[in-house]
């Protein structure tokens, strides 16, 4: 990785079989050590003993604090630097030889310049520190759909989180030793200086370099950096899709399970939908919901023409604020033990606390470690997080470890739209579905730096994560519509439509199953819908709304559409597509124009 080899690498403490890793891996580790000059090198094996030792080290140096072990056994609190609390999209680059290959959706830098900038930062940065070598696998360890990586970091917090979020350690190293290619990720927290912070991706090299941040998506390189930015590049060349999607299984009373993949921007309810608990009447009738994944989905065509998906992650890096017994009881149950909390508040008896928890507790310390004062801000940072094993979720699906993946019946796109967009509609066909995803808009949230509540286009919820030109990405999506393909139906949802009083019109949470039931009915050819220029819309009577009280305004806005408003929307969509120039597939221009004409007619 363009490492400086002038200094010898320090002695390496290599457990087990790590010393016999592929020569390419050993050579890279030696190069990085020569550049960063750590005091020691530790090859991570993913064992319980190693994890406990990491915890003790972080407790000793103040990186972690012990939470109440009676109420939250095995759980700890981490406070990040106050200026290191979210993804930094403006400091995240895709380094391709040609600027156009990165596209206008990415910040671009030439690979040579990117390496030079990063290596200057990495020079000697690990002096006095341990350099951890983390072999990991994204996806079930024995799945042909999974891909491996190795992250080198000087952060024990990153190691602990990567152990939860990936299949990390000896088993992943064995897969790499057997000949699997691997993504190379180099990370250092540096001085946590915002002026010396960059995340660089080199897709053609399957490489990532991240410096100056300890925050999740910037530092846990298996997550957004590998599983989306680099993997989307891999997927394009290998004929699959790497998507910012949850995967959830819906089991009906007849015992049939349909799997749905759904793309929402960060902090827009992916985890809540992935862990949905059916309303009481549905539970009584025998409906069940199974969680396969809450954030990332890798899909590829199977021999039968259907798309099959795996969750490349093994854990949840979820947003804590707003998580409660009402909004997501499964998530709350998941994080009662063996959880690392980041940037939450703390109660007098040292339990984790955040806004929306609604458990009768009161915080005494805020996320910065100061005495809590509501006048000075919230107790938990709006992007406070929890890291926990997926297996702790009460709705965890045993199919999450199926090496073949699960068959996808429906793909859902959605975002936060206070107006215009109805509760749900269905695309007419695959091309229309790709346009729906490409044109998706959402109001920004606290998951990224910058203003909150600003509407922006976020195609397939991949704006911050697509590792190449969006126009080429849309063309890749369109390429799956081939003879013999049995593609999922495509839908768009909006749980966040508001009334004239500014309040949400749809109850959301468990009641979202009513919408998923309609989708499954459409997949099976059993549910009704009205044809409109924007797609197939259900009438209120097409959904099971037993027990849901909707006002006349709610029914009109959730199940209707405004032709004039949508006409303006499609004019805006046309302008957006044209921003990508000649690479934009003509099929999407044609589809946009067809719908725009129908709306004006």
**Which residues participate in the annotated binding site?**
87, 215-217, 224, 244, 266-272, 295, 383-385, 416, 509-512
Expressed in percent and rounded to 5, the helix, strand and coil fractions of the chain are: 35, 25, 45
231-238 helix and 470-478 helix, angle to the nearest 10 degrees? 40
E strand segments, 424-480 = 424-426, 441-443, 455-457
Annotated binding site for Mn(2+): 224, 244, 295
Annotated binding site for substrate: 87, 215-217, 266, 383-385
The single residue of 95, 148, 225, 268 carrying the catalytic annotation is 268
Number of CB atoms found within 10 A of residue 337's CB: 15
Q: Which residue bears the tokens 């630097």?
A: 81
- The question of whether 268 is a catalytic residue gets the answer yes
**Backbone φ and ψ of 452, nearest 5°:** -105, 140
**Backbone φ and ψ of 118, nearest 5°:** -70, -40
Nearest to 402 by CA among 290, 320, 311: 311
Residue 259 and residue 297 in contact, taking contact as beta carbons nearer than 8 Å: no
Nearest to 191 by CA among 131, 124, 132, 134: 124
Residue 121 and residue 190 in contact, taking contact as beta carbons nearer than 8 Å: yes
In 84-215, alpha helices (H): 99-102, 111-122, 156-165, 170-177
Report the C-alpha gap between 368 and 380 in whole angstroms.
9
Q: Which residues contact 252 (CB under 8 A, 6 or more apart)?
A: 258, 286, 287, 517, 520
Annotated binding site for GTP: 267-272, 385, 416, 509-512
Residue 451 and residue 441 in contact, taking contact as beta carbons nearer than 8 Å: no
Length of the chain: 601
Bridge partners of 258? 250
∠ CA 340-78-354, rounded to 5°: 75
Looking at residue 396, the DSSP 8-state letter turns out to be B
Q: Which two tokens stand for residue 264?
A: 């929402």
Q: Which residue bears the tokens 């030079």?
A: 116
Looking at residue 9, the DSSP 8-state letter turns out to be P
For residue 314, CA distances in Å to 138, 488, 536, 553 come to 8, 25, 36, 42
Number of CB atoms found within 10 A of residue 24's CB: 12
Report the C-alpha gap between 413 and 297 in whole angstroms.
13
Q: Is the dihedral of CA 336, 340, 346, 349 positive or negative?
A: positive
Q: Which residue bears the tokens 């200026």?
A: 83
Q: Which residue bears the tokens 């700890």?
A: 76
Residues labelled catalytic: 268
């Amino acid at each position: 990785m363009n490492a400086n080899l002038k200094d010898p690498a320090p002695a390496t403490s290599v457990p087990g079989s790590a010393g016999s890793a592929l020569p390419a891996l050993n050579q890279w580790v030696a190069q990085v050590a020569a550049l960063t000059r750590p005091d020691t090198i530790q090859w991570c094996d993913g064992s319980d003993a190693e994890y406990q030792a990491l915890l003790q080290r972080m407790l000793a140096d103040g990186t972690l604090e012990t939470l109440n072990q009676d109420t939250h056994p095995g759980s700890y609190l981490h406070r990040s630097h106050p200026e290191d609390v979210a993804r930094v999209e403006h400091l995240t680059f895709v380094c391709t030889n040609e600027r156009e290959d990165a596209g206008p959706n990415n910040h671009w830098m030439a690979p040579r310049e990117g390496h030079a900038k990063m290596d200057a930062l990495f020079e000697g940065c690990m002096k006095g520190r341990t350099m951890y070598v983390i072999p990991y696998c994204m996806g079930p360890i024995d799945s042909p759909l999974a891909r491996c990586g190795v992250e080198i970091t000087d952060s024990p917090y990153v190691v602990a989180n990567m152990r939860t979020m990936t299949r990390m350690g000896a088993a992943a190293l064995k897969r790499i030793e057997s000949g699997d290619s691997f993504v190379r990720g180099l990370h250092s927290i540096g001085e946590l200086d915002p002026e010396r912070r960059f995340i660089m991706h080199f897709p053609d090299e399957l490489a990532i370099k991240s410096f100056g941040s300890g925050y999740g998506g910037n530092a846990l390189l298996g997550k957004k950096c590998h599983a989306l930015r680099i993997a989307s590049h891999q997927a394009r060349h290998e004929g699959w899709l790497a998507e910012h999607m949850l995967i959830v299984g819906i089991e009906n009373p007849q015992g049939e399970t349909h799997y749905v993949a759904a793309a929402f921007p960060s902090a827009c309810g992916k985890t809540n939908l992935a862990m949905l608990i059916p309303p009481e009447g549905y539970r009584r009738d025998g409906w069940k919901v199974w969680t396969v994944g809450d954030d990332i989905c890798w899909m590829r065509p199977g021999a039968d023409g259907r798309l099959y998906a795996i969750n490349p992650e093994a854990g949840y890096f979820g947003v804590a604020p707003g998580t409660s017994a009402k909004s997501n009881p499964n998530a709350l149950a998941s994080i009662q033990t063996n959880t690392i909390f980041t940037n939450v508040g703390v109660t007098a008896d040292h339990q984790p606390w955040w806004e929306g928890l609604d458990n009768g507790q009161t915080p005494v310390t805020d996320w910065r470690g100061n005495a809590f004062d509501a006048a000075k801000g919230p107790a938990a940072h709006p992007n406070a997080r929890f890291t926990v094993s997926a297996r702790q979720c009460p709705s965890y699906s045993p199919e999450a470890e199926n090496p073949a993946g699960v068959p996808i019946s429906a793909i859902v796109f959605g975002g936060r739209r206070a107006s215009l967009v109805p509760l749900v509609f269905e695309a007419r066909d695959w091309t229309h579905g790709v346009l729906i995803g490409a044109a998706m808009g959402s109001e920004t949230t606290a998951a990224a730096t910058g203003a909150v509540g600003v509407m922006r286009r976020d195609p397939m919820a991949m704006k911050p994560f697509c590792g190449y030109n969006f126009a080429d990405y849309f063309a890749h999506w369109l390429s799956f519509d081939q003879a013999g393909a049995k593609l999922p139906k495509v839908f768009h949802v909006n749980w966040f439509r508001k009334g004239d009083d500014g309040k949400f019109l749809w109850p959301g949470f468990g009641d979202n199953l009513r919408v998923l039931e309609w989708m499954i009915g459409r997949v099976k050819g059993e549910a009704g819908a009205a044809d409109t220029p924007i797609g197939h819309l259900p009438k209120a009577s097409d959904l099971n709304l037993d027990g849901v009280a909707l006002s006349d305004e709610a029914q009109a806005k959730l199940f209707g559409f405004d032709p004039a408003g949508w006409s303006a929307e499609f004019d805006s969509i046309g302008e957006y597509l044209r921003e990508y120039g000649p690479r934009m597939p003509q099929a999407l221009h044609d589809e946009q124009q067809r719908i725009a004409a129908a709306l004006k007619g």
